[in-house]
Amino acid sequence: MVFDVGRVLQIDDVSLSLGGKTILSQASLSLQRGELLALLGPNGAGKSSLLKVASGDLALQNGRVHVAGKRLQVWRRPELARHRAVMPQRVEVNFPFTAREIVALGCCRGSPEERNELIEHLLRRLEVSALADRLISTLSGGEQQRVQLARVLAQLWHSSGPRLLLLDECTSALDPAQQQLVFGLLRELASDQGYAILAVVHDLNLAAAYADRLVVMSRGQTRIDGSPGDVLTPAMLERVYGLRARVEQLPEGYPMVVPLGTSGASFAPMAAAMGAG
Ligand SMILES: Nc1ncnc2c1ncn2[C@@H]1O[C@H](COP(=O)(O)OP(=O)(O)OP(=O)(O)O)[C@@H](O)[C@H]1O
């Protein structure tokens, strides 16, 4: 198999309708090896839907999705699973599994010793070792989220070739310190291991601090694509989110958004604006 080792994910002109509503409209983005891209946008903008199309969880209706240079539809599932892992916004667990057993579900390769070593390593990295023998259902929301992330990371840990992580609000239940822990780890995987990471995130300052690039969605479209410094402007925040905000350039080299209130001037949800539904 010949990979396009540079461009790990390419989404071109993807449109999607569900239940008679336009959900995505010619959405496009690309993601390079070693890049951490934050996908931003207001509630209902289409971020999760785009991620689901990119992961194959929603069938492609219009447009093109390529993973490592190959059309998503022609990947064989087992082969794709070695190169692409997905963390959906909500993960339901209906079995009485312990945290360790959940992480083990992501370990597909290696000897039993290697798998155990990886499981313990990831439990430690995500600071959930002490919870390893607890039933997942008894863990707090943030604890469960870190265990699920460990499972998703386990899937690609020993893979060779392109590695693509699609993460939908993977830190939404985490406290600020744990958010830093997770995004620090993602940054390391991108910079040191060449992972390509697409992370849907609502926390603008987390995105600014850790992402190489931001793509802002609104009304089903990928409207803005650029560095945190270029994208996070008061004008964009008011126009897209209806958020009044000051943006300060930090000495650390990235911007910080200081919210000042709402202006009520955001884009209307796409479906409403189009009179559909
Ligand atoms: N199966 C479906 N049928 C009809 N509408 C849907 C369906 N799935 C999603 N939608 C609608 O599509 C729009 C985009 O949803 P999506 O979950 O992609 O948004 P999002 O940007 O991820 O939002 P959030 O930030 O709230 O998670 C929403 O208006 C949602 O109600």
Give the pLDDT confidence of 170-213 residue by residue, as tens digits.
Answer: 999 999 999 999 999 999 999 999 999 999 999 999 999 999 99
Same domain, 3 and 78: yes
Same domain, 45 and 166: yes
- Whether the predicted model's global pTM rises above the 0.80 cut: yes
Look at residue 48 in the predicted model and tell me its pLDDT: 97
Same domain, 167 and 153: no
Give me the chain's average pLDDT, please: 92
Q: Is residue 222 part of a domain?
A: yes
CATH number of the domain encompassing residue 50: 3.40.50.300
Residue 264 structure tokens: 């009520």
191 C-alpha to center of ligand 1: Å? 31
Pocket of ligand 1 contains residue 144 by CB under 6 Å? no
Give the pLDDT confidence of 48-102 residue by residue, as tens digits.
Answer: 999 999 999 999 999 999 999 999 999 999 999 999 999 998 887 778 899 999 9
Same domain, 100 and 150: yes
Same domain, 78 and 28: yes
Same domain, 7 and 122: no
Q: Please, what's the b/e burial string for 224-234 (b: 16 or more CB within 10 A of its CB; e: otherwise)? A: beeebeebbee
Same domain, 198 and 121: no
Residue with CA closest to ligand 1 atom 12: 23
Same domain, 147 and 206: no
Centre a 10 Å sphere on the Cβ of residue 78 and count the other Cβ atoms it contains. 8
Look at residue 128 in the predicted model and tell me its pLDDT: 97
CA distance 171 to 180: 9
CA distance 72 to 222: 20
Q: Does ipTM exceed 0.95?
A: yes
Burial of 60 (0-12, 13-18, 19+ CB in 10 A): middle
134 C-alpha to center of ligand 1: Å? 33
Q: In ligand 1, which atom is closest to the CA atom of 20?
A: 4
CA distance 36 to 227: 11
Distances (CA, A) of 108 to 67, 95, 124, 158, 227: 20, 19, 19, 9, 35
Q: Is residue 185 part of a domain?
A: yes
Closest CA to 232 of 148, 31, 250, 101: 250
- Expressed as residue numbers, the domain containing 138 is 93-158
Element (H, E) at 116: helix 112-125
Same domain, 210 and 177: yes
Examine the fold and report which residue of 180, 196, 226 is the final residue of a domain before the chain moves on. 226
Pocket of ligand 1 contains residue 44 by CB under 6 Å? yes
Distances (CA, A) of 276 to 19, 108, 213, 271: 10, 44, 32, 5
Distances (CA, A) of 28 to 52, 76, 185, 229: 14, 23, 27, 21
Share of the chain above pLDDT 70, in %: 93
Pocket of ligand 1 contains residue 23 by CB under 6 Å? yes
Q: In ligand 1, which atom is closest to the CA atom of 89?
A: 27
Centre a 10 Å sphere on the Cβ of residue 44 and count the other Cβ atoms it contains. 19
How many domains, in total, are found in the chain? 2
Q: Is residue 253 part of a domain?
A: no
Closest CA to 164 of 214, 205, 198: 198
Same domain, 172 and 116: no
Same domain, 7 and 74: yes
